[in-house]
Every structure is written in C-alpha cells, then in structure tokens.
Structure 1
Amino acid sequence: MKLLSWALLALAPALIDATELGYSTTTPSTVNGSLSFGSHYAVLNLDLITALVGSINTTTKGQAFIKSTGKWINAVHRQNPPPISIFSRIYFSTSLMPEVSLSAPFYQDVAEVGNLTESDELSQLYPAFKPLPNYDVVLQKTRYYAGTDNTLVQILRNQKIDTVVLVYHVIPFKMSHSWGMSGLRTSGVMLTTALALFDLDFNVYVIANNTIETGDDATSINNVILQSILPKMPLNVITVEQAIDALSRSNATYY
C-alpha cells in the first residue's frame, strides 16, 4: 500500500454544550523540520455540514476552529493543480434512515441532529467550506468511519494516492444517554477513521489546530488523543502552519 496524504475534517454535531469545547492552538507537533506531501496526496474533509458546524459558530473556540479549517481548505484550493479533496456529508436515503439500525450508537447520535436526507438544508456543507468545481468530490456518509459503504478507498487507490496527510477537524456533541459523552467527536468519528486508514497502511498526519472536542472533560480528552494516543500508533500530529507550508513543497498529480 502506498502512503496517502490527507486532511481529515470531521464533525461538529448539533445540540452540543458550547461551554464545553476542547480546542487548542498550542498542541505540540510530532514532526520536526520541513515537510512535503509529495506528488500524490488527497484531502479528506469530514462532515462539515450546517447541522454540525452551525452548532458552534457563535463561540470563540468554534469560530477559531472554523477559521483554521477554512484557512487550510483555501490553501489547498490555491494549489495548481489542487490535490483531490473529498468532502463527506451525513445524510440518509429517507427520513427513516434505512442505512443504519435503530439500535446502533450512530443512529442514536445522528438522530440528535434530525433525520437528514440529501435535500435537507442542514445536511448541506457549511457555507464557509465550498468544494472546488471539477476537482473536489462529495460523498455520502452513514457511519462513524468516513469510508463505510462509499467509494472513498476506491477513489484513493484508483487515483494512486501515495502520500498521507490526515488532517482532522472534529467536533462532537454532548449526549443525554446514560453512558454520557458519545457520538460524533474527536474520540468518535476522527479516531475511528484515523485508525481504519492507519490499519490500511496509510501514513496519517493530523492537523492539531483543526480538531475540537466537546462535552465533559473536552480539553483533556482532546489533548490525550492528540498528544498520546495518535503519536503512540504512530500517527503524526502537525500544526496548520506546517501543513500549509508543506503545500509549497508538494506537487499534486492527477491521473
């Protein structure tokens, strides 16, 4: 398996407790020196839909997250040619959500934001994050892992993606279930996708500035994931400045 360069941007579910946001611009990088993503890299932007990002857009930390995420996406789009960017959207075939079991944790979590279908306004990408026409891809997502039952991995392999930058922009929400914090968060969708891709032999980079956790102990959970769990695998953790600087030494190729 060739290495893969990504930017993973994950969810910001609705109904969160906006006072409990774990977000930091000072998470230390695990990569020293100059960085390049090579000639065959992709950017994965996870679930940046209005229902989720709109939940935090009036908070200071949420605005910082949106600004950093937009800064990265815009920098990627300015490349000539731009790398492949893949956006995922959470939505279901009908409001009955047939793609997921009623007893599944994911069903319980996404039900908090409504039974989203493809045409629902809340399932559309947040206005600050717009796909680049003729280059970017938008995929449906119905599970935590970004590649479940869609063509994500097929696109990566067919396009011979061989340098991996996984940039995770993740926002969870506070659930009312008896088991407490759960669902679409740094410790949920982001971690699930990161480990799945790592297990497929992709070399993963995570942009620390573009991750955010919510709920009880949000800051400590976010820090443990970025500073202990991911580096232990090892998945590389970098800053948004490092990621943007690496673009100047990278050269995306299309097939």
Structure 2
Amino acid sequence: MRPSTLLLASLTSTALAQNASTTPGYDNYPTAIASTLPANSNFTFGRHYALLNLDLINALVGSVAPSPAGQAFINNTATFINAAHALNPPPLQIFTRIYFANARKPEVNPNGGFATVAASTGNALVGANSTGSMVYPAFTVDAAAGDLTLQKTRYYAGAGNALEQILESQGIDTVVLSGIRTSGVILSTAYRLFDLDYKVYVIANNTIETPPDTPGINAAILEGVLPKLPANVITIEQALGALKRSGPAVY
C-alpha cells in the first residue's frame, strides 16, 4: 500500500530542495529527479532482466495525457518500450492491466482497504474486454516478440497473477519498472520485488502521479523513499544507455 501522508509530507520538503543542477541533464517535467547513480555510470541490466510496464491502461494514462507532464511520461515510456523491442533478442517485457471479473468485483474484499479504490473505478475496469483496462495505444505490446500481459487486481504488479512464477522460472534477477502511479503500483512492486531479492531499477521519467499536478509526492517517493530500500532510480537516458550495454537478454 501507499506510504502514509505524514511520511510523504516530511520527505516532500527534502526532495523539492534538491538542486536540479546535480541531475544527469534532463528535464523531467515539472521537477527534475536526481538519479541515484552517477550520470557517467556505465552500468548494465545484465542478461537476466525483465522490463515491467505497469498499469499503462486507458483509464489511468488517459487521465494524465492532456497535461504536459502526461505527454512527457507517455513519450519517454513509449521510447523505452520501443527501444527494447528493437534489440535482438528483445528482453522479456511484462505489461499489467487492472480489471475485475464482473461488476461485483469478487477479487476485492468489500470490508478491506482496497475496496474504496476499486469502487472509485466504477465499471470502467470490469471484464477483460473493458476499454478502460486496455493498454494505452501509445504503448506497443508485441506478443510475437514474447511480451506478456497479466491481469492484476491490487496495487502490486503480481497480485492475482503468475508474475513471480514467471520471473523465477525464467531466471530473472533484475527488474526495470515503468508505470502509473508512482505511489501505487511502482512503490508497492518495488518493495515486494526488492524483498524477494531482485535488483530493482525505477525509471524516473517513466513514472507519474495522478493527478499529474502533484510533483511533490512523485519527487518524495523517487528521491526519498525508493533509494532507502535501496532501489536504483535512474533517468530515461541512463536506462536507454544501460539497455544498449546489456544482454543479449536470456529468458
């Protein structure tokens, strides 16, 4: 689940005080996020890595698309996904979609904490064919290249699906996260997979909050919370460079 409001508030002031001139030289609208790795670091993702493209669905991405922040997020995320598809062989890419079995949403305990979140979506995410749950058109899911799409029903990317089984079966040791929202699926998935001994990278440019005019929360998580795990928070430029230096991917 998301960190408490009190924790985020205390971290926000610190994150916003960061000097943007120390970042590796990109403009992450509207707040530049400092990478946890040096700009000139020649790190790789290795060979046994997976790219997790989380909740890039119409209902969520469509809500931020009209904004400059949303457009930057969409463009950066699509660029990274396409760059991975261009590799030979391409690495494992896993997309997640949120949807429930029917209008009763039987996957959700009506007395549980997630019930309010599920209720807020109405019927937009009911059934596998619901338009709201489809991957946003800017993002290419290439099944022929081996891309997988998994259903989920909680914040965590592996809730109710075979994510952990797939990663373990394929010998994956490193995961690279992109997605929406930073305080939801990104944060919960980073914590869970770090706990399972995966090396975790989060691409700062490929994350966003909803609504997108809450940069303080985004910055607090990316610069304050995730590095404490520690997870690696990197820029899109660093991610693209690592992609070129990695592999060939094995899975």
| Category of TM-score, reference length = shorter chain | 0.7 to 0.9
Q: Which of 126, 144, 166 is the matching residue for 1:155? A: 166
Amino acid at match of 2:90: P
CA contact (8 A) 2:67 2:212 kept: no
Specify whether residues 200 and 24 from structure 1 end up closer, same or farther in structure 2 by C-alpha distance, changes over 3 A only.
farther
CA distance in 2, matches of 1:93, 1:66: 28
CA contact (8 A) 2:63 2:210 kept: no
Specify whether residues 153 and 252 from structure 1 end up closer, same or farther in structure 2 by C-alpha distance, changes over 3 A only.
farther
Quote the offset at 1:108 in angstroms: 1.7
> In structure 1, what is the equivalent of residue 36 of structure 2?
30
Is 1:92 equivalent to 2:88 in the alignment? no
Is 1:244 equivalent to 2:234 in the alignment? no
* 1:49-108: CA deviation from partner (whole Å, max 9, x where unpaired): 111111111111111111111111111111111001001111111121111112333232
Percent identical among aligned pairs is 53
3-state SS of 1:209 partner? strand
> In structure 1, what is the equivalent of residue 71 of structure 2?
63
CA distance in 2, matches of 1:254, 1:245: 18
Q: Which of 194, 203, 206 is the matching residue for 1:210? A: 206
> In structure 2, what is the equivalent of residue 8 of structure 1?
none
CA contact (8 A) 1:24 1:209 kept: no
TM-score normalised by L of structure 1: 0.80
Quote the offset at 1:30 in angstroms: 0.8
CA distance in 2, matches of 1:59, 1:139: 28
Specify whether residues 24 and 231 from structure 1 end up closer, same or farther in structure 2 by C-alpha distance, changes over 3 A only.
farther
3-state SS of 1:208 partner? strand
Larger proportion of helix: 2
CA distance in 1, matches of 2:164, 2:175: 15
CA contact (8 A) 2:82 2:140 kept: no
Amino acid at match of 2:127: T
Alpha-carbon RMSD = 1.9
CA distance in 1, matches of 2:187, 2:65: 23
TM-score normalised by L of structure 2: 0.82
* 1:155-199: CA deviation from partner (whole Å, max 9, x where unpaired): 11111112x24323223xxxxxxxxxxxxxx22222111101111
> In structure 1, what is the equivalent of residue 16 of structure 2?
none
Specify whether residues 208 and 106 from structure 1 end up closer, same or farther in structure 2 by C-alpha distance, changes over 3 A only.
same
> In structure 2, what is the equivalent of residue 52 of structure 1?
60
Is 1:228 equivalent to 2:228 in the alignment? no
Specify whether residues 48 and 215 from structure 1 end up closer, same or farther in structure 2 by C-alpha distance, changes over 3 A only.
closer
Specify whether residues 196 and 141 from structure 1 end up closer, same or farther in structure 2 by C-alpha distance, changes over 3 A only.
same
Is 1:109 equivalent to 2:117 in the alignment? yes
CA distance in 2, matches of 1:231, 1:114: 35
Amino acid at match of 1:117: G
Gaps of 5+ in 2: 1-27
Amino acid at match of 1:68: N
3-state SS of 1:72 partner? helix
3-state SS of 2:33 partner? coil
How many residue pairs get aligned? The number is 219
CA distance in 1, matches of 2:249, 2:136: 28
